[in-house]
Amino acid sequence: MKIRIPATSANLGPGFDSIGLALSRYLTIEVLKPADEWYIEHNLPYVPDDKYNLLIKTALKIKPDLQPHHLKMESDIPLARGLGSSSSVIVAGIELANQLGNLQLSQAEKLQLATEIEGHPDNVAPAIYGNLVVASYVNKRVSAIVSDFPECAFLAFIPKYELRTSDSRGVLPNQLSHKKAVAASAVSNVLVAALLKGDLTTAGQAMESDIFHEPFRQRLVKEFYAIKKIGHEYGAYATYLSGAGPTIMVLAPQDKIDSLQEAISQLGFDGELAPLTVDTVGIYVE
């Protein structure tokens, strides 16, 4: 059995902790055989290969009496880069428990469990459902709406350095004034409405008008302003920080991606430029 979970890009600017999108990089878990103890084959640095791995810890949280297995883990989702690497493991752990324990969990039940474990729905929801997901987590209850994303292309600049979510959250203010909070909420509302209508020009303007987090986090990602400038020059819809960063996502018409990629590569930044597409499947088991 194989379990495949997509990478995710959260926030999309003003959709802070509530909007996420599934993208075409993947974590794959292969269940090889029953064993006396849990063991995971992988080549990820500093990641445990036993029951202390987040995958197994999550699965055992859902069903503590699971039969241990020998597993294989492969991932092209970089760690601590704002592409949902830990969320993909949490979702995979829930699905592992669901399959091995024959729990028959619904997608909504998986989302509730994943949000309780991760703390926010913005990364785990699209990893489960695929596509674009707008979600909230209030009074321990998750609500989520899944929608197709308008036709476009994504270009991710993934820096070589990591940026821990805890560090990225550390630069955020403890509170916003009522006036700023209303303005920030209005921008987020326009983003959602524009995406559901398929108006990427208006959506892009909203993505670049965030008040909740990007003004505070952008200074942690030294490449951001130069890449955003290139985006404006080459007709991108928007440039935003993916999740907590440091990955920078450029959203553009398909026919602009090659020229954008060439222009950004000329900046000489140390990192990977990766064209991506929307994953429409979410959790996939074979």
Q: Is residue 140 located within the same domain as residue 171?
A: no
Q: What is the mean pLDDT of residues 200-226?
A: 95
17 is in which domain, residue-wise?
A: 2-148+280-285
Among candidates 74, 65, 66, which has minimal Cα distance to 30?
A: 74
Q: Is residue 131 located within the same domain as residue 160?
A: no
pLDDT in tens, 27-82: 999 999 999 999 999 988 889 999 999 999 999 999 999 999 999 999 999 988 99
Q: Is residue 131 located within the same domain as residue 225?
A: no
pLDDT at residue 9 greater than cutoff 80:
yes
pLDDT at position 168 is: 84
Q: Is residue 7 located within the same domain as residue 144?
A: yes
Domain of residue 167, CATH code: 3.30.70.890
Domain of residue 144, CATH code: 3.30.230.10
Binding-site entries for ATP:
78-88
Q: Is residue 69 located within the same domain as residue 170?
A: no
The reported pTM is 0.94
Q: Is residue 129 located within the same domain as residue 161?
A: no
Name the H helices within the chain.
54-62, 85-100, 107-118, 121-129, 165-169, 178-197, 200-207, 214-217, 224-233, 257-265
Q: Is residue 25 located within the same domain as residue 123?
A: yes
For residues 151 and 252, the answer to whether their CB atoms sit within 8 Å is no
Q: Report the number of distinct structural domains present in the chain.
A: 2
pLDDT in tens, 181-190: 999 999 999 9
Q: Is residue 8 located within the same domain as residue 110?
A: yes
Confidence of residue 123 (pLDDT cuts 50, 70, 90): very high
pLDDT at residue 165 greater than cutoff 80:
no
What is the SS3 assignment for 216?
helix
Q: Is residue 129 located within the same domain as residue 183?
A: no
pLDDT in tens, 223-273: 999 999 999 999 999 999 999 899 999 999 999 999 999 999 999 999 999
Average pLDDT, whole number, for the chain? 95
Q: Is residue 141 located within the same domain as residue 164?
A: no
Among candidates 78, 68, 247, which has minimal Cα distance to 156?
A: 247
Binding-site entries:
78-88
